[in-house]
């Protein structure tokens, strides 16, 4: 028997002051972000001198924020004789190459580097590589004004229209996407640029959507009801099918994740559209409230990207077919033969 004692404390800075530890273990310090986390570290670290021989052990995977507490402590540990620093970039011995291949195929590049190669990456980083962007655009394709683009034998085309509305600072963008099998093709992108003094005329945008609908006969027109509630109702009044894609943190993440996977799997194709290319190249991983999310650079836009993503997300959802369908037949009354 010993007099050792284990106490579990809440990760609360206010109650952490005054501790007297003999051994202090800080786990996954790269995830300690924000003012409260730094206050907790200050309270814990300042307590290490209260008991002679107290040891501090920090274990963490790499991160991406080079202004973070973890990166500062890492630099101190590497340069100071007061610390012992050990860096192990390799994966655990039981992780096989096939698992890593699947992870690399799906995860954003900087996330793969952090989690599986234990490398510090640039804060955020580019959302797409130049090779991935170039892979979207096909010189053999051209902008289409109606149904009837190149088709795959034996497969029916489905069309979707994505709408990203803005009236002054951002552009309004309308994208038409054709779905055939597992591949999607951008058929048309139309944009309007407004200004605080001369706003985009939403009536003109609505007329263009109606015209595109007559040309392509889309299964759905996809828009954010917060931007275009009244327009959506009017479009429904003309007999068109409108899908409301409400933007939340979860739905936004799903939208961009779908687009990212389509691009990485080389399933999204487009004719050469300079603005669409420019906006794809301007997308970065940025930190917001401690979470990395794709967003455009300052002074840049993502309107065509959002319009294409809206149409593409619904096209992917529309391609999902249940594995088995049960056909129900009404037999009727056998005694009378009625059905």
Q: Does 255 reside within a domain?
A: yes
Q: Does 84 reside within a domain?
A: no
Question: Which residues fall within 8 angstroms of residue 263, CB to CB, at 6 or more apart?
Answer: 128, 132, 135, 136
In contact, 123 and 284? CB cutoff 8 Å: no
Beta strands at 268-270 and 283-288: parallel, antiparallel or unpaired: unpaired
Q: Does 99 reside within a domain?
A: no
pLDDT digits (tens, 9 = 90+) for 170-210: 889 999 999 998 999 999 999 998 887 888 898 999 999 99
pLDDT-wise least confident of 16-20, 74-78, 213-217, 239-243: 16-20
Q: Does 101 reside within a domain?
A: no
Looking up residue 209, the CATH number of its domain turns out to be 3.30.420.240
**Mean pLDDT of all residues in the chain?**
85
pLDDT digits (tens, 9 = 90+) for 211-226: 999 999 999 999 999 8
List the domain range (segments joined by +) for residue 194. 130-318
pLDDT of residue 320: 52
Confidence of residue 299 (pLDDT cuts 50, 70, 90): low
Is pTM beyond 0.75? Reply is no
Confidence of residue 156 (pLDDT cuts 50, 70, 90): confident
Q: Do residues 142 and 53 share a domain?
A: no
pLDDT-wise least confident of 8-12, 123-127, 205-209: 123-127
Report H helices in the chain. 13-16, 35-46, 69-79, 97-106, 109-116, 130-136, 202-216, 225-237, 249-264, 274-281, 303-318
Could you say which of 48, 64, 79 is where a domain stops? 79
- Residue 139: C-alpha distances to residues 69, 194, 273 (Å): 47, 30, 10
Q: Does 198 reside within a domain?
A: yes
Number of domains in the chain: 2
pLDDT at 151 over 70: no
Q: Do residues 179 and 49 share a domain?
A: no
Separation of alpha carbons 77 and 301, rounded Å: 41
Q: Do residues 150 and 297 share a domain?
A: yes
Helix/strand/coil for 121: coil
Q: Do residues 172 and 67 share a domain?
A: no
Q: Do residues 177 and 303 share a domain?
A: yes
Confidence of residue 330 (pLDDT cuts 50, 70, 90): very low
């Amino acid at each position: 028997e010993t007099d050792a004692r284990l106490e579990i404390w809440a990760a609360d800075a206010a109650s952490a002051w005054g501790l007297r530890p003999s051994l202090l273990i800080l786990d996954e310090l790269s995830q300690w972000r924000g003012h409260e986390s730094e206050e907790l570290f200050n309270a814990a670290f300042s307590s290490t001198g209260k008991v002679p021989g107290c040891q501090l052990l920090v274990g963490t995977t790499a991160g991406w924020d080079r202004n973070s507490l973890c990166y500062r402590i890492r630099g101190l540990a590497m340069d100071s004789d007061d610390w012992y620093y050990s860096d192990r970039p390799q994966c655990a011995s039981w992780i096989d190459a096939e698992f890593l291949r699947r992870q690399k195929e799906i995860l954003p590049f900087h996330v793969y580097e952090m989690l599986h190669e234990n490398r510090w990456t640039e804060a955020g980083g580019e959302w797409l590589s130049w090779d991935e962007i170039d892979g979207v655009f096909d010189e053999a394709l051209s902008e289409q004004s109606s149904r009837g683009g190149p088709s795959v034998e034996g497969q029916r085309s489905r069309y979707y229209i994505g709408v990203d509305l803005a009236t002054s600072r951002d552009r309004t963008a309308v994208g038409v996407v054709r779905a055939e099998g597992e591949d999607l093709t951008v058929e048309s992108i139309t944009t309007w640029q407004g200004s605080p003094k001369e706003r985009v005329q939403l009536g003109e945008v609505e007329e263009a959507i109606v015209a595109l609908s007559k040309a392509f006969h889309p299964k759905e027109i996809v828009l954010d009801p917060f931007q275009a509630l009244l327009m959506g109702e009017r479009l429904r009044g003309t007999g068109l099918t409108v899908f409301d894609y409400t933007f939340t943190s979860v739905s936004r993440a799903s939208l961009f994740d779908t687009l990212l996977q389509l691009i990485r799997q080389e399933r999204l194709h487009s004719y050469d559209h300079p603005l669409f290319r420019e906006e794809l190249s301007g997308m970065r991983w940025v930190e917001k409230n401690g979470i990395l999310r794709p967003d455009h650079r300052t002074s840049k836009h993502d309107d065509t990207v959002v319009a294409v993503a809206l149409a593409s997300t619904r096209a992917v959802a529309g391609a999902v077919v249940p594995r088995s369908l049960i056909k129900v037949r009404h037999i009727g009354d056998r005694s009378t033969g009625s059905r």
